Amino acid sequence: MNTPFCGVIPPLVTPLTVDGELDLASLERLITRLLDSGVHGLFALGSSGEVAFFDDDMRAQVLDAVTGIVAGQVPVLAGCIDTQTHRVVSHIRAAEKTGVTGVVVTAPFYAITGQEEIRHHFTAIGEAATVPVLAYDIPVCVHTKLAPEMLMDLARTGAIVGVKDSSGDDVSFRRLALQNRAEGEPLALFTGHEVVVDGAYLSGAHGCVPGLGNVDPAGYVRLHTAAQAGDWEQVRLEQDRLAHLMEIAFAPVGKVGPAAGVGSFKTALQLLGVFDTNTMSAPMTALEGSNVDAVQDVLQKVGLL
Amino acid sequence: MNTPFCGVIPPLVTPLTVDGELDLASLERLITRLLDSGVHGLFALGSSGEVAFFDDDMRAQVLDAVTGIVAGQVPVLAGCIDTQTHRVVSHIRAAEKTGVTGVVVTAPFYAITGQEEIRHHFTAIGEAATVPVLAYDIPVCVHTKLAPEMLMDLARTGAIVGVKDSSGDDVSFRRLALQNRAEGEPLALFTGHEVVVDGAYLSGAHGCVPGLGNVDPAGYVRLHTAAQAGDWEQVRLEQDRLAHLMEIAFAPVGKVGPAAGVGSFKTALQLLGVFDTNTMSAPMTALEGSNVDAVQDVLQKVGLL
Amino acid sequence: MNTPFCGVIPPLVTPLTVDGELDLASLERLITRLLDSGVHGLFALGSSGEVAFFDDDMRAQVLDAVTGIVAGQVPVLAGCIDTQTHRVVSHIRAAEKTGVTGVVVTAPFYAITGQEEIRHHFTAIGEAATVPVLAYDIPVCVHTKLAPEMLMDLARTGAIVGVKDSSGDDVSFRRLALQNRAEGEPLALFTGHEVVVDGAYLSGAHGCVPGLGNVDPAGYVRLHTAAQAGDWEQVRLEQDRLAHLMEIAFAPVGKVGPAAGVGSFKTALQLLGVFDTNTMSAPMTALEGSNVDAVQDVLQKVGLL
Amino acid sequence: MNTPFCGVIPPLVTPLTVDGELDLASLERLITRLLDSGVHGLFALGSSGEVAFFDDDMRAQVLDAVTGIVAGQVPVLAGCIDTQTHRVVSHIRAAEKTGVTGVVVTAPFYAITGQEEIRHHFTAIGEAATVPVLAYDIPVCVHTKLAPEMLMDLARTGAIVGVKDSSGDDVSFRRLALQNRAEGEPLALFTGHEVVVDGAYLSGAHGCVPGLGNVDPAGYVRLHTAAQAGDWEQVRLEQDRLAHLMEIAFAPVGKVGPAAGVGSFKTALQLLGVFDTNTMSAPMTALEGSNVDAVQDVLQKVGLL
């Protein structure tokens, strides 16, 4: 592969103060814990990082802080997520200044776009970026699926060097992985689905970008190491343990989307002493009361607390 | 109604130079033509205005230009469209400085949000804005529908003073209009669907925000005037004529979404001598060749050329 | 138009005994009441008639009963709803034997079908049927939309003579009506949306097939008569009254789909003394307790009780 | 597990004569080839078996033929697929008479149904059936997803003894498998997704129901045997080979759904000398010309021809 990206690259959850400001102390504790666990990279400003809730200034603060704390120990990917091409290019320019190793870009959203426009979008971004670009396939947010054929075309022209798959479509992922291998693996392939990383590795993934990796980075590193060694039975057992842990994201009652998932990760990190608060960006609200208890209950059952 | 908003309020298409810059001369011709036709307001930076493709600087340029040209002759609405609450509030702050009369805001998008979060979103925006807020119901872009019950709740607290409905759900719109009338019309109701404005008026709409109004503002003004006079037969005939004209948006082959619809409006305006180009924002491309011919053909059949 | 179909054609709700058998006495009361109100036709075995819940024997019982009671006073349409072409043709054969005036057919469902297959489907059905065929556009049930262009093609070959539109897409309906008029009205157009019949008439509908017409047939007949006379103000007022009444379908808590809508119609008919029970087909259950009270409350407010 | 169902259970493709009749000779060749390859069961009248296209008589013919040919050598499952509860129960009664080992049932479709109705549906079916019932989770056809929590509830009451998952949702499947194991495996779990059987086995599947198994039963039997032995590297290699073969389903141009997928299986079986024709049920048409060549090309690359 022609990229430095491989292995476990958690999408950083962004700690906030109760006033919604970036909580630098918590961020430093989070990153230190992840690096100590042996993760192979970090992905700042992903969907789990609440990127869609942040303006340019907040995004710059996050990238400055992350690259500063990491100080080159592992590659750092930056999510450059916005509605359309020019706005994405602006974010890439800003990210490049902070010294990130690569950027992650979705299909356009809000305005309906066809396959022709999506192709133009990634081609233009590939030409504009001075760092490697990974395509982020996340139809639950952008409401279009990136077709394997188009991703391979973009790989051939060098517009993209990798794919982060959060599509929920494991059939499409297998087809992409198969074609990628047939062409000498121009793409680094990552799955974002916390509970089926093992299957994605069998399919041909080179790594994972699990939001749950913020909570249990060591588990995903063990899973990755076992997969590299071809010890699939160990992979499976570790995955089952992590799938149990992932129930924290399904435990909150009355919450959907990141208010449930990211909300549970932040709550777990607060319970683990890593974060000072579990504050969420408006219009989301933090988990409270019995929803916090439900997260704590799962952590205890899995042995993290 | 407690708002100055009523009647025909076209969502301004944004003319661009071939380099993608704001084309001020074309914009001035467009606005002059609309005001001369008797429109009752203007809506800048709507979906048809390519707002999702523009960064903060471009948005400010558009609002400065529009408010400058209009110079208080009619109310000006500004689309403050972005993914989440804080980003929307930033756009509202910027819009307020340009002297707009009101702002138009969608539900959050990209990150999945539940009804609780959407309610928080509009409540927070209603509190933050110093100008009236209209809710923009456009599930084709944001992938959630604003329920009539929630819109009436937001009306009661004063968070919103109107609704622009581009939901495609005429059943829901009728239910909203009925409830609005039962409570003394706290909301000004607008439809964005060019070819069924007549039905929306029967349902209880106070006005329309038709993208096609950029091309034929006089037709929509005649339709509105006839509706005010209760001359529904004239309303119907004018609507049928405008529905024929709207076929320009379905004529382009190989285009979807705004690349087809807004692309056809810009092409028509170029053919009518109002715009210098039919340039679209990246990653969209302008209509060309037989697609331009198809638009011209419809304009001729309807008698605009 | 080359069909006998025009005006108010309620889709008959099917009364059941508590054991789920066809309740002939209630059916006779219902039909008598509808005919006395001046409806222009009847549609048996539509979605509102629970056709999808009935086997061949029950369908035959319903058609025999309806055609027997109607005895040629008005045209009778039969829903021949099933998954694929051959099964639909079997239902048409059975329906023809009962003496119905025409049949109503949806796009195929369950198995995914493309536009090519849908075209084949209606073409084959048009060839097989000895009575006129109406296309039933109901994407909420079959999950594909019938494109106006295809419907006009089928009209030109004589495969269909009408369309019942329950698509919820008033933009598409206007485009269909416009094209239909341009070609001399080969199609009789009906809307199934109870609360926006007025807008559909402005668009070019020749009639309506309102489930709510089971409850208030006289209201829809008045609406139709006013529309024929061009008295749109009267049309609008009657539609608003009927839209108020339609709130019975939104009143039930904890119910969706026909369990709510058809359930409320049956409950209203029981409260009005027309039906002996409000029994629903399994796996649905009848409205009970506060849900019945909610229906009764709306009936009283609108003055039907 | 309390069922006889485990291992590779291909969903039988149904061979037709050019006139659309059941082709018994081809069916016998198909079943003989499958049994010779060591499959562990057969599933007649699944989606791949074109069940939605068949009337009661044709369904009876298929089940009689299959149970007759199999003659008890392996368990036979029968798809009892229809819109609503009573119609499904009728199919179950008919299937039971043919001596099938178990039945497979989907959620209701056509009429919108809520979670409450789906639960009633499966509960009623579990009570009515005298043979074991498997739930068939196939939202692409029925447009609702069966929630893992509900499936476990139905397992606890004994209403169902297994699940065939064609949901495309591998996250949900992992959660179901995890909960199933925690409760002592009351459910036999099968995946229908041909190219990710390996991942499903890691997740906890007990077998697979691959349409492609009609074409290469030996491959799936080798995959299953390797999984039973814990030889995951062999599982992965066999899966990759089968994933290559599955490209036959993506090769046809201008076809969607079963017209593409099942059409390619039938075409492959004809090319392999098992089927006499590749005829499809109306309104689908058989693959022809370059689409047949494309299937042949894949078969040759994978070494089956």
Q: ipTM beyond 0.90?
A: yes
Q: In angstroms, rounded to a whole number, what is the distance separating the alpha carbons of residues A74 and A93?
A: 21
pLDDT tens figures, D123-173: 999 999 999 999 999 999 999 999 999 999 999 999 999 999 999 999 999
* Burial D219-255, CB ≥16 within 10 A → b, else e: bbbbbbbbbeeeebebbbebbbbbbbbbbbbebbeeb
Cβ atoms of C66 and C101 within 8 Å: the answer is no
User: Which residue matches tokens 């370059």?
Assistant: D290
Percentage of the residues of chain B whose pLDDT score is greater than 90 = 98
The question of whether D136 is a catalytic residue gets the answer yes
- CA D252 to chain CA mean position, Å: 21
Q: What six digits make up the tokens of A251? A: 């435990």
Looking at residue A165, its pLDDT comes to 98
pLDDT for B166 beyond 60: yes
User: φ, ψ for residue B54 (rounded to 5)?
Assistant: -105, 140
Residue D3 has pLDDT above 90, yes or no: no
Band (D16; pLDDT cuts 50, 70, 90)? very high
pLDDT digits (tens, 9 = 90+) for C115-157: 999 999 999 999 999 999 999 999 999 999 999 999 999 999 9
pLDDT for the residue numbered A2:
53
- Does residue B1 have a pLDDT over 90? no
Average pLDDT on B17-23 reads 97
State whether D84 and C52 contact (CB < 8 Å): yes
CB C114 within 8 A of CB C146: no
pLDDT computed for residue B198 by the predictor: 98
B3 pLDDT band, cuts 50/70/90, is: low
The answer to whether residue B2 scores a pLDDT higher than 60 is: no
Q: What pLDDT score does D240 carry?
A: 98
Does D4 score more than 80 pLDDT? no
Average pLDDT of every residue of chain B: 97
In the block, which residue shows the tokens 């690359």? Answer: D301
Is there a contact between C178 and B244 if contact means CB atoms under 8 Å apart? yes
Domains and CATH numbers, chain C: 7-231 (3.20.20.70)
pLDDT of C74 over the 70 cut = yes
Range C210-233 average pLDDT: 97
Task: Please check the confidence at residue C3 and state whether its pLDDT lies above 70.
Answer: no
Query: Residue A141 is encoded by which pair of tokens?
Result: 């947010």
Which two tokens mark D291? Answer: 């689409």
Query: Which chain D residues touch C283 with a CB distance below 8 Å?
Result: 84-85, 108, 113, 117-121, 124
pLDDT tier for residue B34 given thresholds of 50, 70 and 90: very high
pLDDT band, residue D181 (cuts 50/70/90) = very high
Question: In chain D, what residues touch A232 (CB-CB under 8 Å)?
Answer: 202, 230, 232-233
Q: Which residues of B touch C174 (CB under 8 A)?
A: 195-196, 243
In this complex, the residue of B53, B113, B124 whose CB is nearest that of residue A257 is B113
Instruction: Decide: D134 and D5 in contact? Cβ < 8 Å.
Output: yes
Give A265→chain B minimum CA distance, Å: 16
Residue C4: the pLDDT is 75
- Spans in chain A with pLDDT lower than 50: 1
Please state the rounded mean pLDDT for residues C158-165: 98
Calculate the dihedral angle through the C-alpha atoms of A61, A66, A72, A76, rounding to the nearest 10 degrees.
-100
Q: How many CB atoms lie within 10 A of CB A73?
A: 12
Q: Is the peptide bond before C210 cis (omega within 30 degrees of 0)?
A: no
How many interface pairs between A and B have CB atoms less than 8 angstroms apart?
134
Say yes or no to pLDDT of B4 above 80: no
CB atoms within 10 A of CB A128: 16
Does residue D2 carry a pLDDT above 80?
no
Whether D112 and C258 lie within 8 Å, measured CB to CB: yes
Q: Is the confidence at residue D208, as pLDDT, over 90? A: yes
According to the annotation, is D209 in a ligand binding site? yes
